[in-house]
Amino acid sequence: MIAVTGKVYLIGAGPGDPGLLTLKAVRVLKKADAVLYDRLMNREILTLARKDAELIDVGKAPDNHPVPQHRINEILLEKALKGMTVVRLKGGDPFVFGRGSEEALYLTERGVPVEVVPGVTSAIAVPAYAGVPVTHRGISSSFHVITGSDGCGERADWDSLSRLKGTLIFLMGVKNLESIVSNLLKYGKPADTPAAMIMWGATPAQKTVTGTLADIVRRVKEAGIKNPAVFVVGGTVGLWEYLNWFEGKPLHGRRILVTGTIDAEKGQPEDGPFDFLEDAGAEVIHCPTVKIEFDYGETAGFLANAGDLNLLVFTSKNAVTAFAGAMRRMRLDLRRLGGATVAAVGRKTAERLEEVFIYPDLVPEEFTSKDLLEKIPAGGGGKRTAAVITSDIGGQELVGGLEARGYRVMKIAAYKNLPNYDVRERLIEELGKGVDAAVFTSPSSFYRMEQMVGKLPEKLKKVFIAAIGPTTAAAIEKTGLKVDVCPKEHTLEGLQKALLEKFVGRGEGDGGNKKAQEIEI
């Protein structure tokens, strides 16, 4: 037998809502070297993987298998034999009509260690998100899960199924719905039995059609229901009228594109969470258009020749991280700063400074460069020196403002602000599907998106545009676009509240993060 050092994890990702992922699944995903994922996977789950992990799309649609099952098995084996930690990420649960057992047997027979991380199956979660319990005292004391795919009519014991008093749940049964209903009726299921078809369950695109076995086929066709969908038959469907909690959320069906920045250390979106909007039912699509790359050279040069400095300004938390990294590499400590006054543009920048034991003297309440400049004393006609720690494209307003106040100013480009081409294809795909709102957390997030996909004034002309503050709004409106939302409080919290007010006429989202989070260039 071949000695194997790698391992394969079969992980169930649930039916759509990334919040249904288990804690163990998250832990394993974060350490995986390679991730093979399905077509119906929520893309937000993939952001949990390491930034250097290999992501392989092996998705299959009904009657369309670009990567056949035997090839998926081979890829899993190849990666494991290289000593890699491999995740096979499957919708729902791996062992509920997910072919997970086939993959596990294939690997086990070849000496590859396999571990299964169960997921929330769509058979239970999707009806629950539609307000249809699979059991209920006095109505249904059991539930039965049946494949609705090709061959269902040949394999199913319709006589037994039709006589069951419990809830019947057919997965992926849209194509064969007429056959399923016809057989249930043929073998004695009453025509007035409640039935429901739930499309894209547990996602913001969820749509539920209810009726009875007598009319559900017609209703499903009229509603344009397609796979993925779950078909539920039984008395508990009647509770949908009272328990339909998910589709009644104020932002259900809204798609909100969030740009922003990739965290330079974690490789994940740093502009979040967007709890307010997600709790209100919106689909929040994270496509960070800015990629940060630390450049310690210029900061190290500044530290080596800092001399007497009167004012040190940090424009973002990335500036702090880059500055602290340069000090660590040079084995310098806080004594290097002398008696300089330290200023931070925004609360998050101040918090990052405190993490490295630098406590800022000046933090503007409005989180803007203009507000900070108003708090800084005059520079004495060039007698005082200042350094602005910022990005390669940032800091112009601060540098100019400080010079106008009489300071001799050095701009230190501590990091590079680059377009995040990793999200380009997804950006194009999501814009093609259509979005209701686009959120920009800095001028850079807008510029980089335009750089990657082009023609934003045309692509976003029918989209609500939200900007975190006036500087970002001004940059967007220079292109001819109209900014619909710009909160008084220039934070992610303020931005979410403003979007809620715009869409539903009031601030909602009590489940959101109460801690303000500002984003700077």
Pairing of strands 255-258, 437-440: parallel
Catalytic residue among 17, 33, 84, 172: 172
d(CA 272, CA 112): 38
Q: Which residues contact 154 (CB under 8 A, 6 or more apart)?
A: none
| 76 alpha-carbon distance from chain centroid | 26
Residue pair 362/342 in contact (Cβ under 8 Å)? The answer is yes
DSSP code of residue 164:
-
List the one residue out of 420, 376, 418 whose CA is nearest residue 397: 376
Question: Is 60 one of the annotated active-site residues of the chain?
Answer: yes
List the one residue out of 186, 2, 144 whose CA is nearest residue 77: 2
Question: Is 172 one of the annotated active-site residues of the chain?
Answer: yes
Q: Which residues contact 32 (CB under 8 A, 6 or more apart)?
A: 9, 49, 50, 53, 85, 86, 87
Element (H, E) at 324: helix 317-329
In sign, the C-alpha dihedral spanning 25, 87, 93, 171 is: positive
Q: Which residues contact 96 (CB under 8 A, 6 or more apart)?
A: 121, 122, 123, 145, 171
Residue pair 447/475 in contact (Cβ under 8 Å)? The answer is yes
List the one residue out of 7, 15, 57 whose CA is nearest residue 33: 7
Report helix, strand or coil for 389: strand
Catalytic residue among 38, 295, 392, 436: 38
What does each C-alpha distance from 344 to 320, 440, 477 come to in angstroms?
A: 9, 21, 27
Backbone dihedral angles phi then psi of residue 410, each to the nearest 5 degrees: -115, 130
Residue pair 413/390 in contact (Cβ under 8 Å)? The answer is yes
Question: Is 436 one of the annotated active-site residues of the chain?
Answer: no
In sign, the C-alpha dihedral spanning 483, 487, 488, 490 is: negative
Given the structure tokens 């190290």, which residue do they identify?
A: 300
Q: Which residues contact 325 (CB under 8 A, 6 or more apart)?
A: 294, 296
Supply 187's token pair.
């073998």
d(CA 267, CA 53): 11
What does each C-alpha distance from 450 to 119, 126, 429 come to in angstroms?
A: 38, 37, 15
Please give the positions annotated as active site: 38, 60, 172
